[in-house]
Chain A
Amino acid sequence: MAYSAGFSPHPKISYANSAPTGVASEAEYVEIGVTVECDPDRMRTALDDALPPGLDVVEVVQARTPDFVQRLEASSWQFEVPGVSIDALARCVEALLAAEAVEVERLTKSGLRRFDARVAVVTMNAVGAHVAPLTSVAADCAILTAVVRHVTPSVRPDDVLAALRRVADLVPPVPPRVTRLAQGPLNPVTATVGDPFAPDRSA
């Protein structure tokens, strides 16, 4: 592993856009600087072995192009919303998408911040429980998917839920479980999230 120069060298490792605490994720990205060329798959195995079960290193790709972090333009999220019917959820989604802007508040290190959460939401769909849930959930559970652009200040899953509460009084009986499904470049036509490694794979 590479280290920064100077009096107290730090390992060259950066966590891009990490998911907030309490949120599951299938798509986290870490950049690690190395001093010699490594075999990506051997490195994947070595890292995976050192991490606890459930924290899996899926793939290691050698960086061949700059600006990796800039390619993480948007995330695709899944919300499992228990105790809410699919129709009710669909009405909430409709209300949110119809709104021009939805102000939400979040307590940050620098105090309470107000910002628009609607601007980051690219698409949002209420889908039935027929989509196989990633975590075990009760039967009466509606699923919400959303593609959310990475903006400043960042709009987190909590903020999306706060926006839904604000426009449509969505208050699930237990907190929804949230999973990040993907992050990467945003395709403006299909409104989908692509593979951020694509340029490195083809380079």
Chain B
Amino acid sequence: MTRTLQAQSGASVYDRLELLLPLVSKPIQYVGGELNATLKEWESTAVRWAIMYPDAYEVGAPNQGVQILYEVLNEREDVLAERTYSVWPDLEALMREHSVPQFTVDGHRAVGDFDVFGLSFSTELGYTNMLTAIDLAGLPLLAVDRDETHPIIVAGGHAAFNPEPIADIIDAAVLGDGEEAVLLITDIVRAWKQGGRPGGREGLLLELARTGVIYVPQFYDVTYLDDGRIQRVAPNRPDVPWRVRKHTLMDLDAWPYPKAPLVPLAETVHERMSVEIFRGCTRGCRFCQAGMITRPVRERSITGIAAMVEAGLQKTGYEEVGLLSLSSADHSEIADIARNLADRYEDTQTSLSLPSTRVDAFNVDLANELSRNGRRSGLTFAPEGGSERMRRVINKMVNEEDLIRTVTTAYAAGWRSVKLYFMCGLPTETDEDILQIATLAREVIKAGRSATGRNDIRCTVSIGGFVPKPHTPFQWAAQLDHESTDARLFKLRDAIRADRQYGKAIGLRYHDGKPGIVEGLLSRGDRRVGRVILQAWRDGARFDGWSEHFSYERWMLAASKAFEGESVDVDWFTIRERERAEVLPWDHLDSGLDAEWLWEDWQASLDEVAVEDCRWTPCFDCGVCDQMETEIQVGPTGITNLPMPAMPARPPVLA
């Protein structure tokens, strides 16, 4: 009992932390105090969340998902939500030495004091940072070792669509949009606490699992065949459902979060405000997990977007607004949005940006509109595949003519540099497909020079190794081994270097294939991979998304220890192609996508057959809308001109 009372006091550990801050790098990242941060009284709240983005503050603080959930939760009067981020190894060592626990940056409270510890995983490479946080919080690493005095650990974010590698560590996972899910969990936790914690920790987890929309891994048993494949995943409790569904938030205009974005005091990777203009994407790029698991498309209206931009700027003072989504130029009202916002902020210091990835001239018009009086430095397009054939395989419907026309338009409009994104190691890819990237870049420069008559235009080719992801048509595909990935990238590099006429105008940025193999292991792994994660973490793995901290050798050594005596290894999880009949580790997690449709799309990919976008063509039965009882929500609303906002008669600071 003493432990319970002490552990859940919510007392600040700042006094002890402060003594360590002069000894670490960038101490400002640990002090909190951001504009629009919320600090509530511990005692006045019934349910308390610690939300973590498991990376350094500079990466985690701008994260939209965390900011949205932080605000949605804190808007409830009896709910308290605070944020916590990964501490750098220098502070980790000092915290261990001086017994300072993992803390939140808002109230500097111990994470172990909270009811729920929620983690948002954009990438699997945050798993080891989760272990550091759990351990620093003084919590047992494995779910089965934790008791009701400990917070329940909930994973969300895109990686939660296959949480099997961390199934023994987390208590629960939420698939899909978090806004309503965190409130559902809050209601269940509140009722359980007020009801005298019936059934203890297991009672709470059962309540969560019975909803059918919260996955509690410990209530499912996995059995394996002799050859290593999964035989079956089955619930081990009555009334726990066989499959767990994802969450889909409808009517984005009703959820204008974050209403008051955080303004960090420390420098972060995105020094701007973001407004999400729609969620979901049905372009159908076969490699893209985000596009598959966030269906259907749900747009925010032009008026909803304008209101969010204005309210957010008033509350933050940011000077740049990014209009965020998976493919922003696809918003049904994007031209009117761009024109209206550009008009509205024309004579201010506020600039607007659109993450530009779609390859067409319309995208260049939009970028021109948003940079009316600003600098036209660089534009980014993502053809993803180097050859026409490759782009048919991945369903990225861009032909070379489109691309050349698009970049010519961009150079002619004053843009000096174009960045092109590609992937290496896509299914059926050959050296020839990758070498065509060099040809393409050469054509781009050639077209740019003739359109502008200038020699100072540039093209940067950015290329990374492809990692097959769950819930995509490529979930069955073999990943390319890192040696072959690197060999192909070197051939591309040499081809560009050898080009005397154009090579100097072409920049190449590439990532080697090794980190992709670890990401692949974690992405398509099953529960057996959990032992590798624990081993790698014990061996020192931290911040695996950072090249200066990542060690491929450490991971491979950990895997060979963890898989000893098993019939599976790293190759088995990564470079092996799966058969239709194989039970995949995430088959019991329902993203709404029909397995038959995914398989057919995989076959269509191998046949180099493209599929259209269902926003503009009839439904092609991916299954999501039927299965999830959702629908496509797109405009246009018919509103093409926004009223200019009334300016305050006299800004309050004027004399």
Contact = CB atoms under 8 A, between A and B. Distances in A.
A169 interface: no
Nearest to A174: B19
B27 A21 contact: yes
Contacts of B263: 50
B514 to A, nearest CB: 33
Contact of B33 (A8, A43, A55, A174): A55
A175 interface: yes
B32 to A, nearest CB: 7
Contacts of B32: 52
A42 B317 contact: no
A60 to B, nearest CB: 10
Interface stretch (A31-39, A64-72, A110-118, A187-195): A31-39
B35 A22 contact: no
Contact of B349 (A9, A42, A53): A9
Given A3-B349, A52-B265, A39 B27 contact: no
A8 B320 CA distance: 12
A175 B34 CA distance: 28
B654 A37 contact: yes
A53 B37 CA distance: 11
Given A52-B33, A55-B33, A7 B375 contact: yes
Interface of B is mostly: loop
Nearest to B35: A50
Given A8-B375, A50-B317, A53-B33, A39 B265 contact: no
Nearest to B316: A50
Interface string B619-655: 0000000000000000000000000000000001111
Contact of B655 (A22, A37, A52): A37
Interface string A142-185: 00000000000000000000000000000000110000000000
A46 B653 contact: yes
Nearest to B32: A52
A43 B653 contact: yes
Interface string A1-14: 00100011101000
B310 to A, nearest CB: 18
A31 B52 CA distance: 37
B618 interface: no
A9 to B, nearest CB: 7
Interface of A is mostly: loop
Nearest to A40: B655
Nearest to B263: A50
Interface in B12-38: 19, 21-22, 27-28, 31-35, 37
A54 B33 contact: yes
Interface in A104-140: none
Interface residues of B, number: 20
Contacts of A50: 35, 263, 317
Interface string A47-85: 000111111000000000000000000000000000000
A51 B19 CA distance: 23
A22 B33 contact: no
B33 A39 contact: no
Contacts, number: 45
Given A22-B27, A37-B654, A38-B654, A175 B33 contact: no
A37 B650 CA distance: 12
Interface in B301-333: 317
A1 to B, nearest CB: 8
Contacts of A7: 375
A52 B265 CA distance: 9
Contacts of A53: 33
A54 B28 CA distance: 13
A36 B375 contact: no
A151 B652 CA distance: 40
A52 B21 CA distance: 18
A9 B653 CA distance: 22
B21 A39 contact: no
A50 B37 CA distance: 11
A175 B655 CA distance: 46
B414 to A, nearest CB: 12
B27 A38 contact: no
A38 B650 CA distance: 11
Contacts of B27: 21-22
A39 B22 contact: no
B33 A42 contact: no
A39 B654 CA distance: 6
B227 to A, nearest CB: 57
Contacts of A21: 22, 27-28
B261 to A, nearest CB: 13
A22 B652 contact: no
A30 B349 CA distance: 21
Contacts of A37: 654-655
A54 B32 CA distance: 12
Nearest to B317: A50
A59 to B, nearest CB: 15
A38 B375 contact: no
Given A3-B349, A175-B22, A39 B653 contact: yes
B37 to A, nearest CB: 8
Contacts of B655: 36-39, 42
A21 B22 CA distance: 7
Given A7-B375, A9-B349, A54-B33, A46 B22 contact: no
Contact of B34 (A11, A46, A52, A174): A52
A159 to B, nearest CB: 15
Contacts of A36: 654-655
A2 to B, nearest CB: 10
B83 to A, nearest CB: 14
A175 B24 CA distance: 14
Nearest to A23: B22
A22 B375 contact: no
Max count, chain A CB within 10 A of own CB: residue among B35, B375, B653: B653
Contacts of A22: 21-22, 27
A133 to B, nearest CB: 15
A142 B654 CA distance: 47
Contacts of B31: 52
Interface string B343-364: 0000001000000000000000
A39 B652 CA distance: 9
Nearest to A42: B653
A7 B265 CA distance: 26
12 contacts: A7-B375, A9-B349, A21-B27, A38-B654, A39-B654, A39-B655, A43-B653, A46-B652, A50-B263, A50-B317, A52-B35, A52-B265
Interface of B: 19, 21-22, 27-28, 31-35, 37, 263, 265, 317, 349, 375, 652-655
Given A37-B654, A37-B655, A53-B33, 5 more contacts: A3-B349, A22-B22, A52-B35, A52-B37, A54-B33
The 7 closest A-B pairs by CB, nearest first: A52-B33, A22-B22, A39-B655, A37-B655, A43-B653, A42-B653, A38-B653
Interface of A: 3, 7-9, 11, 21-22, 36-39, 42-43, 46, 50-55, 174-175
